[in-house]
Amino acid sequence: MAIFSDNPELQNQWHAVATDVEVTNGVIGRQLLGQKLVLYKDASGTVNVAPDRCPHREAPLSAGEVKDGALVCCYHGWSFGEAGKCISIPSADPGFPIPKSGHLPCYKSEVRYGLVWVCLGEPASEIPEIPQDTDSKFRRINNPVDHWRVSATRMTDNFLDIAHFPWVHTGTFGNSQRLAVEKIDLEDLPNGFHGYVYDVVAENPPSAGLSSGQSAGDVSRTMTTGFCLPFAVRSTIKYDTGLEHIILLVSTPMDDLNSYFTFVIWRNDDFSVSSEDTVLFDRSIGEEDRVMLEKIPGVLPFEHGALANSQSDKPSTAWRLKLTQLLKDK
Ligand code: FES
Ligand SMILES: [Fe+2]
């Protein structure tokens, strides 16, 4: 796929660009599908997302600041409140009417799972559903949004892939003794995800103990991994102990070759280990993926026959086919 980030259908999808906490701390700039965005929280506590361009003289609004719940442009001090409404032009007489074009054309946005999701067009689908988010037996752990110099297409392909575990995750859970991937059968999973169930014996070094809840040695785990278009992957790890560890891996295209990566975890543990310690192991796994993927230039090819596949690439192949269909619909 030559250029995918300007495909109009992607504008009609939800993409996570920041954590809610990042916006609480002030105004931030982001980029989504090549568009520069500003995010700020207004006096009502709502996150607003708009083009990072002041309607007055095009200064980047992300260089401004939030004062008393309004975003103040750093160039001439025009300020913007709820839903992007321009509420003050300091240089103008009090009776001067605010021009219609002086308001910010806000995009649709929603805070869900501690993340700010944005849709640049008209939403054609829902934000991925994670029912455990409202289940009191589970706790949610958020992580920072990082910038990876990788195409989101390569990230999603990787997050559906089992065969790289013993090669890439040698510092974490990968087990060099077990290279073969057993047959994968794809199925519809709950909540609109599509993927597979897979039993795997994983390495459980001391550093993994806080995540797996078990002391060192190999651990058996059942992984249920699937995708939700365009770029969400959910992996549920179930241990024999009854512990469920759900990871939502979120890849967001800044453009074709740069992406935001974050992951959210839900766990039904006893909440005794701190959130920070619980996710350290998963963060190390993510780092291993990032280092590998940043070695691979360009967008994942989507043309038929462009990539050689083996049986373990079935989930990725299914995802690529569905994404291609989605993008061709427009
Ligand atoms: S450019 Fe923003 S107030 Fe003038
Ligand atoms: Fe990986």
What CA–CA distances, in Å, run from 113 to 50, 65, 88, 158, 171?
A: 21, 26, 33, 23, 29
Check whether 16 has a pLDDT greater than 90.
yes
Check whether 203 has a pLDDT greater than 80.
no
Residue nearest (by alpha carbon) to ligand 1 atom 3: 76
Predicted confidence band of residue 209 (pLDDT cuts 50, 70, 90): confident
Predicted confidence band of residue 329 (pLDDT cuts 50, 70, 90): low
pLDDT, tens digit, 9 for 90 and up, residues 101-138:
999 999 999 999 999 999 999 999 999 999 999 999 99
The arithmetic mean of pLDDT across residues 281-305, rounded, is 94
Higher pLDDT, 174 or 188: 188
Predicted confidence band of residue 303 (pLDDT cuts 50, 70, 90): confident
At residue 208, the pLDDT reads: 79
Our answer on whether the CB atom of 238 is closer than 6 Å to any ligand 1 atom is: no
The arithmetic mean of pLDDT across residues 43-50, rounded, is 96
pLDDT, tens digit, 9 for 90 and up, residues 256-274:
999 999 999 999 998 888 9
At residue 207, the pLDDT reads: 74
Q: Give distance in angstroms: CA of 241 to centre of ligand 2.
A: 24
Instruction: Using alpha carbons, select from 212, 213, 210 the residue that is nearest to residue 275.
Output: 210
Residue nearest (by alpha carbon) to ligand 1 atom 4: 76
Unique residue bearing structure tokens 């963060």: 283
Q: Whose atoms come closest to the Cα of 57: which ligand?
A: 1
State which ligand 1 atom lies nearest to the alpha carbon of 59: 1
- Mean of all residue pLDDT scores within the chain: 93
At residue 322, the pLDDT reads: 95
- What is the maximal distance between C-alpha atoms in the chain? 76
DSSP string, 268-299: -S-S-S-HHHHHHHHHHHHHHHHHHHTTS-SP
Residue nearest (by alpha carbon) to ligand 1 atom 1: 57
Q: What is the pTM (predicted TM-score) of this model?
A: 0.95
Q: Give distance in angstroms: CA of 191 to centre of ligand 2.
A: 23
Instruction: Report the alpha-carbon distance of residue 166 to residue 126 in Å, rounded.
Output: 34
Our answer on whether the CB atom of 54 is closer than 6 Å to any ligand 1 atom is: yes
Higher pLDDT, 5 or 109: 109
The arithmetic mean of pLDDT across residues 286-300, rounded, is 97
Our answer on whether the CB atom of 89 is closer than 6 Å to any ligand 1 atom is: no
Check whether 221 has a pLDDT greater than 90.
no
At residue 216, the pLDDT reads: 66
State which ligand 1 atom lies nearest to the alpha carbon of 76: 3
The arithmetic mean of pLDDT across residues 57-65, rounded, is 98
Higher pLDDT, 173 or 35: 35
Instruction: Look up residue 231 and give its DSSP letter.
Output: T
Check whether 62 has a pLDDT greater than 90.
yes
Neighbour count for residue 299 (Cβ, 10 Å): 18
Our answer on whether the CB atom of 78 is closer than 6 Å to any ligand 1 atom is: yes
At residue 177, the pLDDT reads: 64
Instruction: Report the alpha-carbon distance of residue 210 to residue 284 in Å, rounded.
Output: 13
Candidates 54, 62, 86: which one to mutate for ligand 1, based on the most atoms within 8 Å of Cβ?
A: 54
State which ligand 1 atom lies nearest to the alpha carbon of 61: 2
Our answer on whether the CB atom of 155 is closer than 6 Å to any ligand 1 atom is: no
Q: The tokens of 167 are what?
A: 């090669």
